[in-house]
Structure 1
């Protein structure tokens, strides 16, 4: 990658797990009553054909990882588990009352925090509580995030017995220096152990999450991490850029100095080397920063153009309705977004008062829905088109004009009202999406909102 391209395009930009992005939500126009109506409308339109997705945020961690940008509560007191599960199930009951009919669950994802902070008994109580009020789709997909240091074989077996077939383990990097800097010390042995357990039990997709751009990380660290990863042969790998946003996350991302982070070309070299090694070892690039073996469902969905991206990241299938349960979770009715309150104290107060713990949201306009489709197309398929009326919008010529420089740099191609991101341009797909982001273009941020794109 030419230095000039890195310098030119390495700018702050969204990761586009939604459009509009959260800083551009029109919160003053959001209405909880309208949110419930739109949830109900989407539910009745899609429940029997595609079902719904559930994201459950389990926020507790025993120690703080300084690379993490997630909503979490650090504690070693496991008595916090039961009250939280009771609150989650009460919130679920509130949404089931909004549905008025029995939902069909297509997807469940347990995120955090650290889902494996919870005991197997409490996880069983939680999942069985969900199932009491719902049916499960024939082609369901349940997944969870596991911490290699505290995921037990009992965790894996219990969740497998409850229908889970996909697990992702947070690895980040195997360098002792990097692990110490990010306060996430976990030996290779722990990752190997849980990976082999998962495969032995019968999980069909085991993933490893890797990060480049971490403090003190070198090219040799990335090579060593990828080669160790290859020896365990996970089915899918996320290999994404460390998002340094200390102005949002506070002291949790200030456990090291800015000068300790790889910058620009040095950082991009980490990615290019890692990507090269992954491809040499049989992995295929899927969307942005994800790789999968041909046997994995994510590869199949990418080839079939059914890959989807939402607040959970990439998923192998799509539902229009995704309900987020728990503190800080975000829900999506396709026509609206809604986010839960961000502190446990507020969450418990609202749940005890029999109120949905939503504190902000956004109702998508007709324009939002069109732009959302274009950005999803780019993020999931590296292409988009405007050859049909439902994908056209008045500013398309201005958008294409703004992309002319990327076209001249060989990062994209235009042909018959279709835009294709080239192989060279995949590293800059977020920049391409930014050209379509009309809300961003009309209201450039005056303060730091986003991590760097490269």
Structure 2
């Protein structure tokens, strides 16, 4: 079947699978803070000594609203919010350290946003020093942060480098001014070039750029021009992903343009395919879904070794069983359960003032969830999965295989007796393939549209 026909056939709403079950299918009535604490303590005791833990720290403040963004954020130009927020995050960390009892060994830290570089370098230093004072650092570790090209200073980069950070990700999106105005993210190439050069001069070993296709008013020439400009800087790693247009969820944040202004179906996919050709020609390797890396980057090495992992931070070369999310709206993962923090800053502060870990909802994974989660992770990270071992026995296997037969006929995958292999033609459709394993989705399709389109 031709690519255009495949896109029309498989371009349906579907999850991005940063977790399984996906958030809309969490059984919140089965969850409690006490159950989360017990789950986390169990996972920490099992894995801290052997692999350490990951920390995701959400820094939610932005000076202006980017209308393509789907993240939880607080828009303000008042920087007096910095200090009380950092004190709150450190208070939350202290509550976790009391719960865990043994000293955490930190393998991974990621500062996400919002805009982490909204915070002054001295405040980020205060935050990280407070975190690290109560932990040990794993011998092999990765500390990373998201930097806005317009406000990341050399002082930011140096301060975080001095604390052990070696990876930085810059949100580029697109260099076309019309597109930038539509998404309210004006940043010239010169700004991206400057912060990329500073990071290299200081000694960062992995620099990443985020590029987005399918943005309002974006044409194929815009995407190709952005990639040509990106080639001049040769970041070590790239995220090249589809804009998730979900205004029915994000409200005014994604209503700075009309639905008709957003590229559709085959045009959107052409932007990806042509962009991918340029990246591969420059020596980048395709990693998982929508990611590319130079052969020298740790993510490519993890992909080759089969150790690539995916969680609420996206793809990571460092796998840990425990990921603790600190800050407003952060999600934590013990492998056995998920827990999300309060989304309103007033509620987040209030819970901490009461001496409580500020979790407000979550999900305890069933035995079936754990099996399906492994298969979806395998597909997302390795483009294959098998059920040869008893621990990977798939519930409702015959129904899953039946739903995959049509994809095999379309040349997207190969069904083997006890495993499936995603073919090159099927990699753009890996979300659809994962949906075949998503038993919760199969049993109860959403009444209203809650997911972005898969293509």
Do both share a fold (TM > 0.5)? yes
Matched, 1:158 2:159: yes
- Write the distance in 2 (CA, Å) between the matches of 1:316 and 1:3: 33
Deviation at 1:408, TM superposition (A): 0.1
Counterpart of 2:391? 390
- What corresponds to 1:309 in structure 2? 310
Deviations 1:289-336 (A, max 9, x none): 000000000000000000000000000020000000000000000000
Q: SS at the partner of 2:51?
A: coil
Residues 317-367 of structure 1 show CA distances to partners (whole Å, capped at 9, x for unaligned) of: 200000000000000000000000101111011111111110000000000
Partner of 1:351: 352
Q: Please give the alpha-carbon distance, in whole angstroms, between the structure 2 residues aligned to 1:113 and 1:208.
A: 16
CA shift for structure 1 position 394: 3.2
Q: Which residue of 1 aligns with 2:364?
A: 363
After superposition, residues 28-107 of structure 1 pair within 5 angstroms as 28-107=29-108
Equivalent residue number for residue 281 of structure 2: 280
CA distance in 1, matches of 2:78, 2:114: 14
Q: Counterparts in 2 of 1:42-441, with a 5 A limit? A: 42-441=43-442
How far 1:393 sits from its partner (Å)?
2.3
Distance in 1 between residues matched to 2:343 and 2:32, nearest whole Å: 18
How many angstroms apart in 1 are the aligned matches of 2:437 and 2:36?
Answer: 26
Deviation at 1:277, TM superposition (A): 0.5
Counterpart Cα distance in 2 of 1:396 and 1:386? 10
CA drift of 1:105 comes to: 0.4
Secondary structure at the aligned position of 2:57 is classed as: strand
Aligned residues: 454
Alpha-carbon distance in 2 for matches of 1:298, 1:149: 26
- Find the aligned partners of 2:45 and 2:196 in 1 and give their Cα distance: 39
CA positional deviation for 1:3: 1.7
What CA distance in whole angstroms lies between the structure 2 residues aligned with 1:294 and 1:2?
Answer: 28
RMSD: 0.6
| Structure 2 SS opposite 1:23 | helix
In the TM superposition, structure 1's runs of 4+ consecutive aligned residues that sit over 3 Å from their partners are none
Matches of 1:290 and 1:2, distance apart in 2: 21
CA distance in 1, matches of 2:385, 2:287: 16
Report how far residue 448 of structure 1 moved.
Answer: 1.2
Query: Following TM superposition, by how much is the alpha carbon of 1:416 offset from its aligned partner in structure 2, in angstroms?
Result: 3.3
Q: Is this contact kept in 1: 2:368–2:395, CA < 8 A?
A: no
Deviation at 1:147, TM superposition (A): 0.1
Partner of 2:4: 3
Q: Alpha-carbon deviation of 1:418? A: 1.3
Return the alpha-carbon distance in structure 2 between the equivalents of residues 258 and 245 of structure 1: 10
Deviations 1:91-144 (A, max 9, x none): 000000110111100000000000000001000000000011111101010000
Unaligned runs of at least 5 residues, structure 1: none
Rounded to whole Å, the distance in 2 between the matches of 1:416 and 1:238 is 34
Separation in structure 1 between the aligned mates of residue 77 and residue 318 of structure 2, nearest angstrom: 36
SS at match of 1:425: helix
Distance 2:70 2:81 in 1: 22
Gaps of 5+ in 2: none
2:142–2:165 CA contact under 8 A, matched in 1: yes
Contact kept in structure 1, 2:414 and 2:423, CA below 8 Å: yes
